[in-house]
Amino acid sequence: MATLYIVGTPIGNLEDVTLRALRILKEADVILCEDKRVTKRLLDKYEIAGRELATYNEQQSGVASGKIIGWLEEGKNVALVTDAGTPGISDPGSMLVQKVREVLPDAKIESVPGPSALTGALSIAGVPVHDFVFLGFLPHKKGRETLFKEIAMSERTVVFYESPHRILKTLESLEKFAPAKNITIARELTKIHEEVKSGSAEELLKFFKENPDKVRGEFVVIVF
Ligand code: SAM
């Protein structure tokens, strides 16, 4: 039986990749990616060529988990990467691991840890992190209001991912339901326009409304 490697890759800055991740990507028989173009940029930078690339996104397209399980049974080592960070953290990676563990309980699945926007943001936010709740992406409709009420009541640090299309809406909800909370927004971590801003939801809303050019990129929201 071969090994399925779950490989962390950069969340922006291509230098944020471990030596082990590069070796495993160099040696893997197949590299499963979310978007081949994104992964190619990393492979090209480190002159990793000649690997078989396949897309994996169980819910959309690409090779199905059945085929990947077949590769593992044939003895092919498979490395799973996603577009950014640690596969499985709010991206398609976790479903494959679940399926492989279900169908091949003895399969070797190894973690090749690397960056994640979650840990990157928490590490620089300056809030208590010994105990936190991670919500991934918030639901767009059902349960959203209840969740904001829970966030307002929480004694723990709460972290979630947000898109530029929804960040203002989310800050409006935080202003309404959690006006007393301190919010930290970590934007574009490890990239040229990296920025961390803290304040009440009202203050941050004002900031982003006055600086619409900053309502861009990728966001992690931390509420404490
Ligand atoms: N698996 C990834 C990880 O380990 O962080 C997360 C994948 S999820 C599909 C993408 C979301 O992560 C983005 O919408 C954003 O909220 C967050 N994210 C990814 N890269 C980021 C960055 N460089 N700065 C801030 N947030 C980022």
CA of residue 193 to ligand 1 center, whole Å: 15
Per-residue pLDDT tens digits for 142-152? 899 999 999 99
State whether the beta carbon of 94 lies less than 6 angstroms from ligand 1: no
Cβ contact 52:67 at 8 Å: no
Distance CA 44, CA 36 (A): 12
State whether the beta carbon of 119 lies less than 6 angstroms from ligand 1: no
| Triad 34, 35, 37: Cα angle to 5° | 150
State whether the beta carbon of 34 lies less than 6 angstroms from ligand 1: no
**160: nearest Cα among 221, 95, 77, 92:** 221
Distance CA 31, CA 45 (A): 16
Task: Say what angle helices 167-177 and 144-153 make with each other, to 10 degrees.
Answer: 60
State whether the beta carbon of 162 lies less than 6 angstroms from ligand 1: yes
CA of residue 196 to ligand 1 center, whole Å: 15
Mutate to test the pocket of ligand 1, among 90, 112, 123, 159 (most ligand atoms within 8 A of CB): 90
| Triad 39, 160, 79: Cα angle to 5° | 25
| Stated pTM of the model | 0.95
Per-residue pLDDT tens digits for 14-62? 999 999 999 999 999 999 999 999 999 999 999 999 999 999 976 665 6
Per-residue pLDDT of the chain (224 residues; tens, 9 = 90+): 799 999 999 999 999 999 999 999 999 999 999 999 999 999 999 999 999 999 997 666 567 888 999 999 999 999 999 999 999 999 888 889 999 999 999 999 999 999 999 999 999 999 999 999 999 999 998 899 999 999 999 999 999 999 999 999 999 999 999 999 999 999 999 999 999 999 999 999 999 999 999 999 999 999 99
Domains and CATH numbers, the chain: 3-112 (3.40.1010.10), 117-223 (3.30.950.10)
